[in-house]
Amino acid sequence: MGAVIGLGLAAFGALGSGKMARETLAPGAIASVNGNMVLRADFVRALTAVSVGRTNPLLPVDEASILARLIEEELLVQRALDHGFAQADSQLRNALVNAVTADVIARSQSRPVSERALQNYYQKNVGRFAIPARYSIRVLFFAGEDGDDSMARFDQALATGSDPSELVRIFGGKTLGVPKGLLPARKIIDYIGPVPAAGLDDFHVGQWSQAIPDRRGVWRIYLDDRIEAKIPPLQEVAHQVQVAFTNERDDAALRSFLNAMKKDADIIYSTEISP
């Protein structure tokens, strides 16, 4: 890649005819096409891609040919934009939008994240990283007209000290079971709904709940075990905190970029809508 830095005069001539000149460009640029820069990084990436699988090194004429291709590509892009192809082609519009979005986010991601910034972010958003309480329960549901009679028999069996497993076996035939093991409240709600799950923190381990009316019947819940919610130290969730911090920072950078563009743009809305 040593020849990349300075293409020879012969190679320069191989770029083709037209208004060509040599001058000092902005750092990172290897050429300028109608004022738009062809980046050295893109040139190096193209050289690397062409070099893969080759046994012979690239010659200056090869490098000139690759640079010429990048310049021609830039000319075609400019031509397409000048002729409004981006407006007419939805796929091209999406590609351009994605490219600019990716560029703004990449610039944001290049900024280092300090430990102090992460600590401040964690303190302000500590609830987002808390480990929720988890519960292990068994449930019985007494539905319809037969519910009162079934629950009366359940209370009689409970008073004799029947084992929870035995009670579930006897009275749980029509109850959709909750998986064994410790589950967060939001998962339990998926199985039994928000009404019976609302009092999970008030239940006592090793005891059946009082009757919990629902619009279709009555619930009884047995709490096998509960693990209280936990707020982990930053060290335990450092990766999650950094991901959340950088995602919000990058989103804010994109929003700031778009707001600045809208501020400078001449935007006119139809009288039919409200902006």
One digit per residue, the tens of pLDDT, for the chain of length 275 reads: 444 444 544 444 445 555 566 777 778 888 888 888 888 888 888 889 888 888 888 888 888 888 888 888 888 888 888 888 877 788 888 888 888 889 889 889 888 999 999 999 999 999 999 999 999 999 998 886 666 788 888 888 888 888 888 888 888 766 667 888 999 999 999 988 999 999 899 999 999 999 888 877 888 999 999 999 999 999 999 999 999 999 999 999 999 998 888 788 776 665 666 54
Backbone phi, psi, residue 28, to 5°: 95, -10
Tell me what pLDDT residue 8 has: 44
Pairing verdict, β 134-143 and 36-39: unpaired
User: Could you tell me the domains of the chain?
Assistant: 2-83 (no CATH), 87-130+233-257 (no CATH), 132-227 (3.10.50.40)
Is the full-model pTM beyond 0.85? no
Pick the closest to residue 126 from 229, 246, 251 (CA basis).
229
Cβ contacts of 162-165, under 8 Å, gap ≥ 24: 164/138, 164/208, 164/222, 164/224, 165/138
Tell me what pLDDT residue 83 has: 80
CA distance 113 to 115: 7
CA distance 137 to 180: 7
